[in-house]
Structure 1
Amino acid sequence: MIVPPSYGSSLMSNDARPEIDTSVPHSARIWDYWLGGKENYPVDREAGDAVLRVLPGIAVSAKQDRAFLGRAVRHVLADGITQFLDLGTGLPTVDNTHEVAQRVDPSARIVYVDNDPLVLLHAQALLRGTPEGACDYVEADIRDTAAVLAEASRTLDFERPIALMLLGVLNHILDDGEAALIVSRIVERLAPGSRLVISHTCDATTDQLDGEAMRRAVRTVMERGGTPICARSPERIEALFAGTRLVDPGVVSCSLWRPDPSPWPEPEVPHYAGVAIVPAA
């Protein structure tokens, strides 16, 4: 597990650029493809298209998850929290956490954490925050919570509330206990009043969602050598919020979490999300 110091706003030399394996699909690049991005390769597009054949609505899920990020960030800011720790950053696209936050409050401070070499290549884009605020990038595996917290503390004040963002990352931790431990180890370091924000691939079966289709989609990616994925039930996703207090409407399809006013109801998607308050010990 390689955990170098935060790159800050420094530029990487060509010699320091990590090699990227383009022979197998990668979840972040597939997600980027579904969002209409350009940071993907033929192998990612092939895997993405294979999933779309099994689960045609997955691209809508990707866009709805991005929209949830924006609403969650603005919700947190409205409660006076201006610090964000974003784990499992993924590839930069439209309306990243720092862009949404600093558009509302230019003094907002954001730390991104990821161990994907392709994300590392784009750290410069992630670090273009406002002069009034701060935006930093830490290369680390989220399982190494001690390293994450140590590096993040260089930019964030852990004596004040922080929004811990875990969007589409815990579904890559296959063991429920390990996923819960990652969350709890970081949450226990957060000041009371902090927020826990999670979105997660869901295998729920309802009138709107086909849980078996999601499971087939997961198998499609993994059989092609892609990043392992675990789609959890709404109950298992809610369990990741243990020790915190969920705000209304709880854990729901991310499209249904406090949607913006619209004359048409948003479609339910197989990606669930919630926001919770970290209580005093």
Structure 2
Amino acid sequence: MSRPENDVRALHIDTSRPHPARMYDWFLGGKDNYPVDEALGRQMLAVEPAVPVMAKVNRAFMHRATRWLTGQGIRQFLDIGTGIPTEPNLHQVAQQSAPATRVVYCDNDPIVLAHAEALLKGTEEGAIDYVQADARDVEAILQHAGKTLDFSRPVALSMIALLHFVSDEDGAYGLVDRLTAVLAPGSHVVISHLTADFHPAAARKVDEMYKANTLTLVPRTRDQFARFFGGLEIVEPGIVAAEAWHPELGEPVPGQDDVISAGYVAVGRKP
């Protein structure tokens, strides 16, 4: 297993404004966040008290999708927008089923780099690496990831709760297209994404909060979400709320009739 090439001491963690990854950590009950993240998180709870449950449902989808993919024979994962380590991490889920799995994580948040050692502890049979890079810097990501992953063989590209932080003008669709283009046939793309379709009033207020803190947030409709899977075969059960994607594969979600999650999820296969 390799170690991050970047020196965390040279990176500056901005604690003057909230950061989505640290807020997500706070919603999940983590400790790697700051008062400014908690403050905005509490504002969001005042609008939608179920946000922590939604975060956990999204995380559980990642676990189930990873188990499903290893069951399909996938042994390589590229996880972009990794976020602050929260166990079990993707590699722990994958290597539990397939110890020889190879995983590359990628994030641009300095606080994730500060905890990257936790992401790099896996099985002896497998391999793990971490790339400190912006998700839009596709060339840098692929160059570094290619040291661990064999892109001539199937790879699972995972982008969990990432793309709603990338605007259309900033190239959200082009980012996915460029990454998908280099994947071998049989590869899969896993995406979860915020939408305003399920809880429109709450989503509108949260969007206003993000804008007030100069943060990008782009909830997308089902049709807009589906565009990320152009040229891919979307596997069953298709584009659904996170809790509806193969619930039999993992953690149970709270039982209720209403939609629990705040976003769509799907897994696409490259033919």
What's the TM-score bracket when you normalise by the shorter of the two chains?
Answer: over 0.9
Query: Does residue 234 of the first structure (1) align with residue 222 of the second (2)?
Result: yes
2: CA distance between counterparts of 1:242 and 1:177? 19
In the other structure, the counterpart of 2:127 is 134
Report the CA distance between 1:234 and its aligned residue: 1.3
Find the aligned partners of 1:156 and 1:10 in 2 and give their Cα distance: 16
Aligned length: 267
Q: Which one of the candidate residues 264, 268, 271 is aligned to 1:276?
A: 268
| 8 Å CA contact retained: 1:215, 1:231 | no
Specify the alignment match of 2:3 in structure 1: 9
**Structure 2 segments unaligned to the other structure (5+ residues):** none
Residue of structure 2 in register with 1:4 after alignment: none
Match of 1:223 in 2: 212
Q: Identity of counterpart residues, as a percentage?
A: 43
Provide the rounded CA distance (Å) in 2 between the counterparts of 1:166 and 1:30.
Answer: 17
Q: 1:220 to 1:43 in 2, by over 3 A?
A: same
Matches within 5 A, 1:8-87: 8-9=2-3, 16-87=9-80
- Describe the shift of the 1:198–1:176 C-alpha distance in structure 2 as closer, same or farther (beyond 3 A): farther
What is the letter of the counterpart of residue 223 of structure 2? E
SS in 1 for 2:96: helix
CA deviation after TM superposition for structure 1 residue 265, in Å: 5.5
The two structures, once aligned, show a CA RMSD in angstroms of 1.9
State the SS of the aligned residue for 2:124.
coil
CA contact (8 A) 2:94 2:101 kept: yes
Question: Is the contact between residue 77 and residue 104 of structure 2 (CA under 8 Å) also seen in structure 1?
Answer: yes
Alignment partner of 1:111 is 2:100: no
Secondary structure, counterpart of 1:93 in structure 2: coil
Deviation at 1:12, TM superposition (A): 6.8
CA distance in 2, matches of 1:170, 1:87: 10
Judged with a 3 Å threshold, the aligned counterparts in structure 2 of structure 1 residues 85 and 13 are, in CA distance, closer, same or farther, namely closer
Alignment of 1:167-246 (within 5 A): 167-175=160-168, 178-204=171-197, 209-225=198-214, 227-246=215-234
- Residue 235 of structure 1: how far off its partner (Å): 1.2
164 and 12 in structure 1: CA distance in 2 versus 1, 3 angstrom threshold: closer
Cα gap change, 1:231/1:146 in structure 2, threshold over 3 Å: closer, same or farther?
A: same
Structure 1: where are the runs of 5+ without partners? 1-6
**Partner of residue 158, structure 2:** 165
